[in-house]
Amino acid sequence: NTSEENSGNLKKQLAKLFEASLRETVPSKHDVEPLVAACTAKFGDYQCNNAMSLWSKIKGKNTDFKGPPAVGQAIMKNLPPSEMIESCSVAGPGFVNVVLSKTWLAEKIQNMLVDGIDTWAPKFSIKRAVVDFSSPNIAKEMHVGHLRSTIIGDTLARMLEFSKVDVLRRNHVGDWGTQFGMLIEFLFEKFPNFEDVNERAIGDLQAFYKASKQRFDTDSAFKERAQKAVVCLQGGEPKYRQAWAQICDISRKEFDKVYQRLGVHLEEKGESFYNPFIPGLIEGLSNKGLVQESEGARVIFIEGINIPLIVVKSDGGYNYASTDLAALWYRLNEDKAEWIIYVTDVGQQQHFDMVFKAAKRAGWLPAGDCMFPKASHVGFGLVLGDDGKRFRTRATEVVRLVDLLDEAKTRSKAALVERGKAEEWTEEELEQTAEAIGYGAIKYADLKNNRLTNYTFNYDQMLNDKGNTAVYLLYAHARICSIIRKSGKDIEELKKTGVLVLAHPDERALGLHLLQFAETVEEACTNLLPNVLCEYLYNLSEYFTKFYSNCQVVGSAEETSRLLLCEATAVVMRKCFFLLGIVPVYKI
């Protein structure tokens, strides 16, 4: 398979070799999957772990092997010759350890420098995916949960896009539902000329929401009007549609401010979009015998879950679940997406579990979890304050995201000013660097944790220039750029004429780690875990530091090769930043 050979994925390339060897070693078990993993111990770079399980399959059945170590020996012997392997050995119960060839590794890195890092992108069999992320609710404030969804979803979308998957970045905003009755009615009341109302007149949309809710809860006449308004809106009455559109628009402008600062692009297809599809779908599901009556509502029972999925409420209205069923159907059949990824807090896990299972019952999705088309819920934990409780500010209950971003930027700017950058740089450079660092810090602090865990939001920690932070990593990258700059050499020229050699052990370790970029992105993307890429990036900076403190670059006999290694590190770091949605800086 040539595409595999050309990709940078070391693990897969080795797996191919071992696959051939396994077939040769035990022809009767030709379907054994090669188990190849990076070595943790110092016996080699990678290891094939098939011998033991293979032995258990063949022992007792006329075999010449005397035990797992002998199977390991044979696996080693039958490996097809390959330039990538320098040496092999068998350890313990048949582990086959592989030491990769330094020359081969160096050549691959140099090829990447010439052909570009996109040659190391993962290859997926699917063509199109939907990433449903951010998805705040209209007229309500975007909260830190939505911030997490925005940051995580953007990274996943970027990784898939890098892998040449066509990604539909969907903002499934909450723009439908009964709360709009009260909002519309309140708008009519406050602004008789509601057509002219803009965001300035309404001011804080969240306060507007609160006030209308209070009115709804305390005034029964208002409540009645609000309920009628819902019916008018859903019936498509122009005046109501217009008021609704206006409220959505004001909200959208608020959301866009956050997206713009974060550099995140989304395409809005809110709940309202799917509404027209619901009745037909429910009917289809009913005809298949999937929908049952229960306490006046219409529900789908899901095996193994004691509460049913309500698809039509007892008042005849639709809900979050009916909308999500319609959206899933649409994404599969109209968008033709093969992988549909939902990024929300873990609290919604059961909801998605039920929706996906209902879709499997309906035959929309295959029964297994491994096959495409596939739906995945990407859950994440809470953001905590220093008090260990849900992150809030004192003045208001929720934290305004723009304030958060402002604060991070202000702080990172202050740190730059303190380091004398206000005199050294233009105002524009100062602003851009402060933003890159401030927003990068927020993103990285979120992404570096396994998404399922809660994490504490702490400016001092995330903006620390030491430790596993965006600031540290951005500085590390800028330093590498300055090494190359100060060498006075034309790096583009060196890429063509120079030769990269991995002679010193620290050069080799860095080189190997660089080449593990491809399998890391593939793993992060396949398992939907951005923290895997963060960990890789942090380790990369550690390998670089070790190399740089033990190997002189500028002025040494190995200068050309080492500058190329610096450049390769910078290129890979930048790609990691890009995939994490962090803007690199070049000067510090």
Question: Where do contacts with ligand ARG occur on this chain (CB under 6 A)?
Answer: 132, 135-137, 172, 174, 324, 327, 342, 344
- Comparing CB distances to ligand ARG, the nearer of 401 and 500 is 401
CB of 563 to ligand ARG, least distance (A): 47
- Comparing CB distances to ligand ARG, the nearer of 14 and 528 is 528
CB of 308 to ligand ARG, least distance (A): 18
Type and span of the H or E element at 521: helix 517-526
CB of 330 to ligand ARG, least distance (A): 11
- Comparing CB distances to ligand ARG, the nearer of 71 and 528 is 528
**Parallel, antiparallel, or unpaired for β 36-38 and 46-48?**
antiparallel
**Cβ–Cβ under 8 Å, residues 113 and 571:** yes
**Cβ–Cβ under 8 Å, residues 500 and 106:** yes
Type and span of the H or E element at 21: helix 10-25
CB of 156 to ligand ARG, least distance (A): 14
- Comparing CB distances to ligand ARG, the nearer of 136 and 373 is 136
- Give phi and psi for 199, each to the nearest 5: -65, -30
- Comparing CB distances to ligand ARG, the nearer of 121 and 144 is 144
Q: Closest Cα to residue 466, out of 384, 385, 538, 386? A: 538
CA distance 483 to 434: 22
**Cβ–Cβ under 8 Å, residues 7 and 518:** yes
Q: Please work out, in degrees rounded to the nearest 5, the angle formed at the alpha carbon of residue 324 by the alpha carbons of 319 and 325.
A: 100
CB of 255 to ligand ARG, least distance (A): 12
CB of 544 to ligand ARG, least distance (A): 39
Query: Please, which residues have CB within 8 angstroms of residue 508's CB and are 6 or more apart in sequence?
Result: 102, 105, 502
Assigned token pair, 308 = 């049913």
- Comparing CB distances to ligand ARG, the nearer of 358 and 532 is 358
Type and span of the H or E element at 370: none
CB of 351 to ligand ARG, least distance (A): 7
- Comparing CB distances to ligand ARG, the nearer of 328 and 500 is 328
| Helix/strand/coil (H/E/C) assignment for every residue in 254-281 | HHHHHHHHHCCCCEECCHHHHHHHHHHH
Strand order in the sheet with 297-300: 291-294, 297-300, 309-312
**Cβ–Cβ under 8 Å, residues 497 and 541:** no
Q: Is 130 helix (H, G, I), strand (E, B) or coil?
A: strand
CB of 498 to ligand ARG, least distance (A): 50
CB of 110 to ligand ARG, least distance (A): 45
Strand order in the sheet with 95-100: 36-38, 46-48, 95-100, 85-91
- Comparing CB distances to ligand ARG, the nearer of 135 and 163 is 135
- Residue of closest CB approach to ligand ARG: 135
Q: Which residues pair with 267 in a beta bridge?
A: 170
- Comparing CB distances to ligand ARG, the nearer of 248 and 473 is 248
Assigned token pair, 136 = 């705040």
Type and span of the H or E element at 533: helix 530-550
- Comparing CB distances to ligand ARG, the nearer of 342 and 538 is 342
**Cβ–Cβ under 8 Å, residues 587 and 430:** no
Is residue 320 exposed (0-12), middle (13-18) or buried (19+ Cβ within 10 Å)? Answer: middle
CB of 241 to ligand ARG, least distance (A): 21
Q: Closest Cα to residue 541, out of 445, 486, 471, 492? A: 471
CA dihedral 203, 172, 584, 550 (to 10 degrees): 130
CA distance 364 to 168: 19
- Comparing CB distances to ligand ARG, the nearer of 98 and 375 is 375
CB of 236 to ligand ARG, least distance (A): 23
Q: DSSP string spanning 219-253? A: -HHHHHHHHHHHHHHHTT-HHHHHHHHHHHHHHHH
- Comparing CB distances to ligand ARG, the nearer of 347 and 505 is 347
Q: What share of the chain is helix, strand, coil (3-state, %, to 5)?
A: 55, 10, 30
- Comparing CB distances to ligand ARG, the nearer of 98 and 205 is 205
CB of 300 to ligand ARG, least distance (A): 17
- Comparing CB distances to ligand ARG, the nearer of 116 and 317 is 317
CB of 226 to ligand ARG, least distance (A): 21
The amino acid at 223:
K
CB of 352 to ligand ARG, least distance (A): 8
CB of 157 to ligand ARG, least distance (A): 14
Other residues' Cβ atoms within 10 Å of the Cβ of residue 453: 11
- Comparing CB distances to ligand ARG, the nearer of 212 and 344 is 344
